[in-house]
Structure 1
Amino acid sequence: MARRAAIAAVLASAASLVAAASAAASGTEPCAVVKNLFLRGNPIPAATGYACLTSVPFDADTGIATVKNFQKLSQFHSTLGDIKNPGVGYANAPVDIIGLLDEVIVKIKAGKFTNQYQFEEQMALITGLSFDGHYTFLGNTFYSSLDWYRGGATDGAYEGSLVSVSLDGKAIPQVYFTTDLTNSDASPIVSIDGATVVDYLTKESNHQLFHDADARWNVLFARQQSDSVGSFVMPWFYPGSNFTATLANGKTKTIPCYAAVPAALKEEWSQVIDGKTFYSTFVAPKTASSSSTSSSSERSLKKRYVEKRLVPPNYPKPVIQHAEKEVELGAFFLGDYTLKEVAVLSMNTFDPVASGDSVEFQALIQKFLKYAKSKGRTKIVIDVSSNGGGSLFLGYDTFKQFFPSMEPDIGARMRYSTALDIIGSAFGTITLDDAINGSFNNTGLTPADMYLSPIHYTNSVDADEADFASWADMRGPVTINGASYTQIMRYNFSDPYLYQGDTIESVTGYGPLASTPAQPYAAEDIILLHDGYCASTCAVFSDLMRRLGGVRSVVLGGRPGFGPMQAVGGTKGVLVEPWAAFEASVAATLTDFGTAAQKEKWADYLPAQFPIALANAPTVNFRNGYHPGSDTPMQFLNESANCRMFYTPAMLSNVTHIWEAVARLAWGYGGGTGQTCVRGGYSEGEPIGESKGTVGKTVSSPDAVVGGGTGTGTGSGSTDEDLGLAVAGSGAGDSASTGTKEGGGVARVVSWGVMGGVAVLTAVALQI
């Protein structure tokens, strides 16, 4: 919030605008102009920022190496196969991600890219076609070095901010400037830059990483629940120098656009005088041995949409709230006399941010349920609006606190590849004794890191909750929809080794928390409230509440039109893995294990360090989620909320009006408000596009590795024996391994996980 206020103050200065225009017209190197305007506290015209970024040189060889390495990383992305043939439940176009990346290489060789920004923008556009917030490539030139803003700000009100609102809750929503909404003569926007407002904003929304078009529409606009002025104000891509909106009353309004330097990058920008020095500062890795990532300029993808607070501003006073100011979790009692039986649990996140937050989160849910019951609150609205996910265990735990007798049954699969098999086959040789007693003579990953990682077969059970006998038992591969995957995996919540690091002791209902109170509320006394922005852990929680618990759901907003809307518009993947996890694994593999010949062959399959700096390192969705018996990942199912409602002006100004309208609609309190589900907006919520029955077919020849190898079949023509897979654990080749190892079986292991030991490994790997 402080960062937004500081930028708003700069953008509000009329005198500064004159200085900015004068500097931009002086013919100075555009990157030098950007730096000087920033250091003087003056606003930066967007066109000047764009001129700087497009002056950054592009190196073709580095670009090709970057694409090829990202292709190798993408072999771990679990939806890579399904998105080529997604089925009827998925509303977006099929896409061949690897094929498009191949085309980028062709364009590089043909000299089509003239600057680094153009290249990085193309990479972001391609990954964006997966509409999956777990799959990203965000280069420093394109994403991290400058922010974009449509319009300036006065007293914190952004002139470019928009709302999509139905004046009576029944009519089709129209788009207004947020600053006009309180005016009695407010006029809706009918066109922007010559295109209809719906066409213009629909095109703009397609840059958002949500699989559902209604969710993509919603995040463009200001909403109190997200504490956001809307991503239309803060776009990812260069928005142009200005935009002109035409209102229904015939008036026009032209809004200038700006660039802004993140305050954390002051030192870096101080070194920039032109495109070449920008490249050396932001693009080129500092040293050949340094990590390709940097934490100093890292920006949270989530915070592009949501600026986290204790509870969003202008909310009523909570009766219970989380002590950590960045954990958006609070409980409220509705004050209207006719709604004295209704309590609201507002959960805008499952993401703990500091040590002990997970334990407090779990305890707060327990406290809320007891307190609400004791105060006669017999109905519960669970508001998960703008919930981007967080700790997987907290999602499962919250479900179990509401439905203690229900067994979570979501399964998962990893995409099979030779690289995964190299890691998993060797990983399976690590025993519990190795994890406790083994060590390496370096500072890399430990046997404990490997044993506790999500890839080790002992950390999952199969679809029938039986233990896997080995990595080979878990890996499959099985072929589904033309791609290869592992067997279905589920968590064994009774396994004490599952809860390592800064997390809860156990999910409620298992282990030390096996004794639980009775179910606190019947399903018909609970409503799930959504705005489409629900992803990752939120998607898991919502699925369990709806499908197993039988809880009804209401969703708000969406595109201007009648009909149903999906409640969960964000990624439904069940495990995101950052580049750091793979980087550490590959480094340990090639440092500690295998013969020289094996290492050379492994390198053909495994991603290497990226040749450019990446402050926001790439990520992949490492595991798909599946319903029991289903072949279709949850990501590709269309699951409408039971009821869709339009936003009204009152709802946008005070969140209490949302909760009251939903409660009255759900339970008929006070005769209702007159607002109902929109025309055609009621749905039974059954998934569309789910395929069941075959649950995959085991194959002996899995699909080829992506982006690696020189041959066909497995990627380089190497056999399992050549790669060391057939003899993993047999002792063959141990004497040729480099480095001294300690602990039984450790010498034959390829490491996997994330840096920093057991605590960091578990905390990162299960943040989804």
Structure 2
Amino acid sequence: MKSNMGKTALLLVSSLALSLQATTNDDPCAVVASEFAKSQGADAIDANLAQSCLTAIPLHKDDALDTVAQLRLFLQFYSAQTYFAHPPTPQLELTAVDLNATLEAMEANITSGAYENNYAFDKAIHNLFGLYRDGHVVYESACYMPFMFENGHPIVSVANTSTEMPSIHHLEVFSDGFTVGEKVDKINGMDAKDYLMKMANEHPEPYWVDPDARYNQLLVGTSNGQTTKGLFAARSVYTEETLTLTYANGTSAELTWSASLRGSLDASSWDSTDSFYTNVCRRSKDEIEKVYADMQNTELTQNTMPSGLSIRDDSVKNKPRSELPASVAGLVRRGDAVPTPALQMVNGEIMLYVMNDQVGVLVINTFTPMNGGSEDGFVHEFSGNITAAIEHLSSKNIKRIVIDVSGNGGGFVRLGRDAVRQFFPGESTYFASNMRWNPALATMMLDGSDTNATYWDLGQYKKASDNSDFKDWNEFLGPVSRDGDYFTVIAVDDTVEVEAEDNEPLPPVYKGPQPFADEDIILLSSGMCGSTCAVFSEAFENHGVKTVTMGGRPLAKTMQTVGGIKGSQVLTFDDIAGWAWGLLGDKVTTFDYIPAVFTVNTFGTASVNLRNSWRKADQDRPIEFLYTPSMYRLMYTDEMVVNVTAKWEAAADAVWGDNQDFYDANSVSGYADRSGKDAGGGKFGRFKNLGHLIWSKVNGNDEL
């Protein structure tokens, strides 16, 4: 009799294979990996499918508790946390945050099992960081934000003229450009403008402290020189909310979301929910050891943490600025036709336009290399381009300049300060800061082996109170008790010492006359200007230049030129661990209050703001919490969306021409300029006349 054992065995093996395949196919993360593999990661997949992978990851309680413990150690360095306990500036519409209570609640929720999955836990952390509305205070877990979600419907806020109330429009995108499309009346049955204002205050991703800047971040715009789709259309946090747009023409559209991989994430790195957690959510032992290994060969400098040693180069120190390499090799010279740049850095960080025979436009997109540009020689190149731009306009006897910093997210602080000195030569500028005192900082400074090798070189700081030297670190550290917390002493830079010790010294700024009079300078912004851009803009506003802001909420209210990230230094979690290791060496492990390398994978975007910035004339709170409206405010028009020149012309016309701006801060009762003089107010208070008062009330001004 013929045996059936072989056939039976084959059937068993086949059944097992089918069972395993079914199990694999039931694993959401395995399905997501498979879908991305089909397109080799180039195409997007269904958003709900991608989201199902994230919500399938169970909560690992021990890891979660350890994450909260690590967060406590890193967040002790966050400089402004006390001011969020009771936000002091109502115009910013910030939510109060009790940091310790929030972290304690997280620990309780982990222990009790209140978090349904790891996604819910990561969401709680991300929402906490989002409440600070600070691009320096960021937490983007790879387990929570590995995908970019898009709906294909970017929107803009435009008006018929720059002085009218705007409406929301869909942006029609074509292969060769885009145009403003149909007006959007409602989003999910709510007035479109009301929906977006609510989103600006409730969604965790807008990271600007000012609500008008947050509103602009939802829309199509620019960020560090790159066109962005806006958070309404493209975001890293998927809310699973069905969005329906109702157009003014009576039609409607239900938006479909897709998901793509963020950054360098490779879908081949996981094939199941378990491997997604291990390989994507957490740093491996090898990755952590590599971070420590890199720390062994790191020089701790002011602006960066490069590997190896930096060799001081004095070769350019005594040269005229016109001989900096940027003015030759780093500059692309073109004709003067607008909108073709007259001068441009190779990667677009700086562009100069000649608008007419009276006005030039200097666009500063960022203070850091763009488009993968190298940091080698960048300081000299950037500074040289500022010099070349000023000289180019001077050679043509152009007396007025518009400096456009819209979407400038910052960069190297010294470049912002150097640019200020070039526009205001021979004058000292006030850059003051302090840090939150904490035991880790004190130990690093007092027990560290070589603090002069770090950003905390004591010789580079003076007391802001009297410009005298600190006698030692104890005097610098304080602590000073104020505002419900403890801080270091407010200090200003000793610019002579900083330049003397810098590895890339710059030639001295010429001592000649100021190239442009204060009244002939316009600082133009979308409110989305922060970090080094805030330092740069603060100095210009202190000089009383004309400030113009674009866009913002459709309300008859003022708007800030600088809408956020007003702290003066960002530190990633790895920066903190690296500096602790560099200063304390092996003994760092003996201090349980000093953080080690963070074990959560965050795409390198876990950070805090180290330093608060202070204004010389107003030190009752950091600059971040001082509301400083621009002098003029304009709305975007259809033409400005497709032709940036129209924006510059409108700003120039509002300040130097006959155009009436949308909302003039100089007419606001009680608004004071930097000299302390009352800049407005009259029979109708903040309003220009009775008609303006009625118009403002009708259009939603709730501050009458």
Q: TM-score range by the shorter chain?
A: 0.7 to 0.9
Once residues 83 and 157 of structure 2 are traced to their aligned partners in structure 1, the CA distance between those partners, rounded to angstroms, is 33
Counterparts of 2:179 and 2:511, CA distance in 1: 54
- 2:36 aligns with 38
Structure 1 position 381 matched with structure 2 position 383: no
- Matched AA of 2:76: Q
Query: 2:269·2:280 contact (CA, 8 Å) conserved in 1?
Result: no
1:35-70 deviations in Å (ceiling 9; x for gaps): 222122253111000001111222111101111111
Asked if the contact 1:347–1:383 (Cα under 8 Å) also holds between the matched residues in 2, the reply is yes
Equivalent residue for 1:70? 71
After the TM superposition, which residues 451-600 of structure 1 pair with which residues of structure 2 at under 5 Å, given as runs?
Answer: 451-463=452-464, 464-495=466-497, 500-501=502-503, 503=504, 505-506=505-506, 513=508, 515-547=510-542, 549-588=543-582, 591-593=585-587, 600=590
Mapping 1:733-744, distance limit 5 Å: none
1:590 Cα deviation (Å)?
6.1
Q: Aligned-pair distance for 1:243?
A: 1.7
Instruction: Give, as a single letter, the amino acid of the residue that structure 1 aligns with 2:435.
Output: M
Q: How far does residue 222 in structure 1 lie from its aligned partner after superposition?
A: 1.2
- Quote the residue 2:636 is aligned against: 647
Instruction: Please state if 1:232 is matched with 2:218.
Output: no
Task: Tell me if the contact between 2:422 and 2:509 (Cα under 8 Å) persists in the aligned partners.
Answer: no
Greater displacement, 177-186 / 567-576: 177-186
Aligned to 1:216: 214
Deviation at residue 617 of structure 1 after TM alignment: 4.2
Q: Is 2:662 the partner of 1:677?
A: yes
- Secondary structure (helix, strand or coil) at the match of 1:169 reads coil
SS at match of 2:81: coil
Report the AA paired with residue 87 of structure 1. Answer: P
Query: Residue 418 of structure 1: CA displacement?
Result: 1.6
**Alpha-carbon distance in structure 2 between the residues aligned to 1:209 and 1:534:** 11
Which of 88, 113, 117 does residue 115 from structure 1 map onto?
A: 117
Give 1:543's aligned amino acid: E
Q: Deviation at 1:677?
A: 3.1
Is the 1:400–1:406 contact (alpha carbons within 8 Å) kept by the matching residues of 2?
Answer: yes
| Paired amino acid for 2:97 | V
8 Å CA contact retained: 1:640, 1:686: no
* Whole-angstrom CA distance in 2 between matches of 1:30 and 1:498: 58
Q: Which amino acid in 1 is paired with 2:576?
A: F
Does 2:80 match 1:79? yes
Report the CA distance between 1:191 and its aligned residue: 1.9
In 2, the alpha carbon distance for the partners of 1:184 and 1:57 equals 45
Query: Does the residue aligned with 1:534 lie in a helix, a strand or coil?
Result: coil
Q: Does 1:271 align with 2:294?
A: no
The letter of the residue matching 2:60 is D
1:350 aligned partner, one-letter code: F
Which residue identity lines up with residue 651 of structure 1 in the other structure?
M
Distance 1:210 1:514 in 2: 33
Amino acid at match of 2:639: A
Q: Secondary structure at the match of 2:280?
A: helix
User: What's the offset of the Cα at 1:516?
Assistant: 2.7
CA distance in 2, matches of 1:477, 1:187: 58
* Equivalent residues in 2 for 1:587-666, closer than 5 Å: 587-588=581-582, 591-593=585-587, 600=590, 602-603=591-592, 605-628=593-616, 630-666=619-655
- Paired residue secondary structure (2:609): strand
Moved more, 188-197 or 26-35: 26-35
TM-score, normalised relative to structure 1: 0.73
Is the 1:293–1:617 contact (alpha carbons within 8 Å) kept by the matching residues of 2? Answer: no
Question: SS state of the match for residue 98, structure 1?
Answer: helix
Name the CA shift for 1:486/1:366 in 2 (closer, same or farther; >3 Å): same
Distance 2:358 2:632 in 1: 22
2:62 is matched with which residue? 61
Asked if structure 2 preserves the Cα contact closer than 8 Å seen for 1:292 and 1:609, the reply is no
Cα distance per residue 1:223-276 (max 9 Å; x no partner): 36751222222113114264211123321111200110236323xx21322211
The alignment status of 1:332 with 2:353, answered yes or no, reads yes
| 1:425-436 equivalent positions in 2, closer than 5 A | 425-427=446-448
Q: Residues 622-661 of structure 1, C-alpha deviation per residue, up to 9 Å, x if partnerless?
A: 0100012513100101000000101111111100001111
**Higher RCO (Cα < 8 Å, 6 or more apart):** 1
Alpha-carbon contact 1:189-1:245 (below 8 Å) kept: yes
Please report how far the alpha carbon of residue 687 of structure 1 lies from its aligned counterpart in structure 2 after TM superposition.
7.6
Distance 1:88 1:39 in 2: 49
Q: Using a 3 Å threshold, how does the CA distance of structure 1 residues 590 and 112 change in structure 2: closer, same or farther?
A: farther
Answer with 57-66 or 533-542: which moved more.
57-66
State the shift of 1:485 in Å: 0.5
Structure 1 residue 196 displacement after superposition: 2.8
Structure 2 Cα separation of the partners of residues 585 and 170 of structure 1: 50
Q: CA deviation at 1:294?
A: 12
Q: Within 2, Cα distance between the matches of 1:499 and 1:243?
A: 55
Q: What are structure 1's unaligned runs of at least 5 residues?
A: 1-22, 152-159, 296-309, 431-446, 507-511, 691-768
Deviation sequence 1:391-417 (CA, Å, 0-9, x none) = 101111111111113211121001011
Change (3 A) 1:291 1:242: farther
Partner of 1:348: 365
Counterpart residue number, 1:176: 169
Q: Which residue of 2 aligns with 1:390?
A: 411
Shift in Å at residue 80 of structure 1? 1.2
The amino acid of 2:155's aligned partner reads L
| Aligned 8 A contact 1:640 1:687 in 2 | no
SS at match of 2:256: strand
- In the alignment, which residue of structure 2 is the partner of 1:245? 245
Equivalenced residue count is 595
Match of 2:282 in 1: 284
Note if contact 1:565-1:641 (Cα within 8 Å) is conserved in structure 2: yes
TM alignment of 1:696-715, pairs within 5 A? none
Change (3 A) 1:685 1:226: farther
User: What is the root-mean-square deviation in Å for CA atoms of aligned residues?
Assistant: 3.0
Q: How many Å apart are 1:346 and its aligned residue?
A: 0.4
**Matched residue type, 2:344:** Q
Query: Partner letter of residue 661 of structure 2?
Result: T
**Whole-Å separation in 1 of the counterparts to 2:358 and 2:585:** 62
CA distance in 1, matches of 2:104, 2:235: 27
SS class of match (1:81): helix
TM-aligned CA deviation for residue 582 of structure 1: 1.6
Q: Could you tell me which amino acid in structure 2 is paired with residue 487 of structure 1?
A: V
Separation in 2, partners of 1:289, 1:340: 57
| Alignment deviations for residues 439-497 of structure 1 (CA, whole Å, 9 cap, x no partner) | xxxxxxxx4xx313122322211113221110011111111111111111111111156
Is contact 2:171–2:178 with CA below 8 Å preserved after alignment?
A: no
Counterpart Cα distance in 1 of 2:292 and 2:480: 38
Cα distance in 2 for residues equivalent to 1:329 and 1:184: 26
Deviation at 1:681, TM superposition (A): 8.0
- How far off its partner does 1:585 sit? 3.3
The answer on whether the counterparts of 2:162 and 2:650 sit within 8 Å (CA) in structure 1 is: no
CA distance in 1, matches of 2:424, 2:263: 45
Contact persistence 1:45–1:241 (CA under 8 A): no
